Amino acid sequence: MQLRLSLVLFFTSPAALVTAQSCPPVHIFGARGTTVPQSQGYDLLLPLGGQIIDNALCGGPDPNAGITSPSIPISASAAQMVKAAIFMGDPRFEYGASYEIGTCRLGGFAARPKGFVCSNGSKIQSYCDSPDPYCCQGNNASAHGAYVNIYGQNAISFIESKLNS
């Protein structure tokens, strides 16, 4: 068994949510770490969390996911509640967006078109390094699981800055 990690952090402020008073001050949606056998079938499923949340915050189209509409599928009020989103190894990565971080200068297997602008981009940091085969056409699948070790502290700092603003 080999540890594979696909991490998507989707933060919201409870003041903007209808929540019980016992809720913690930060809600985290979509964080996932999985131990799976090393096989192409499982490996291919892991980066999809980032792609799903990316599509939710930035809209489509995404032909690989069957999305033809360019509109953002969540309501404007739901999008306003999001404070920060972290993508690590997102297949929608396309070099050049203001929120893209890492060594990749290409795009993933579901890359956004050149010049695409996400209206929620100021809330996002998307990490991708050149060896990653999912977000950058690389050839080292282990790079996909290394983002937390490499960029974890940067992601935490970004999240804290958004929660404190």
User: CATH code at 28?
Assistant: 3.40.50.1820
Asked if residue 107 has pLDDT above 70, the reply is yes
Asked if residue 143 has pLDDT above 60, the reply is yes
The two structure tokens encoding residue 1: 């068994």
Tally the domains of the chain. 1
| CA distance to 41, 47, 56, per residue, from 133 (Å) | 14, 10, 23
The H or E element spanning position 53 is helix 48-58
Domain of 142 in residue numbering reads as: 2-163
Amino acid occupying residue 151 = Y
Q: State the pLDDT at residue 50.
A: 83
**CA separation for the pair 18, 130 (Å, rounded):** 41
The two structure tokens encoding residue 124: 């996002």
Q: State the pLDDT at residue 123.
A: 95
Q: State the pLDDT at residue 52.
A: 87
Residues 160, 85: contact at Cβ < 8 Å?
A: no
pLDDT tens-digit readout, 62-99: 998 889 999 999 999 989 889 999 999 999 999 999 99
Closest CA to 9 of 142, 129, 126: 126
* Percentage, residues of the chain above pLDDT 90: 59
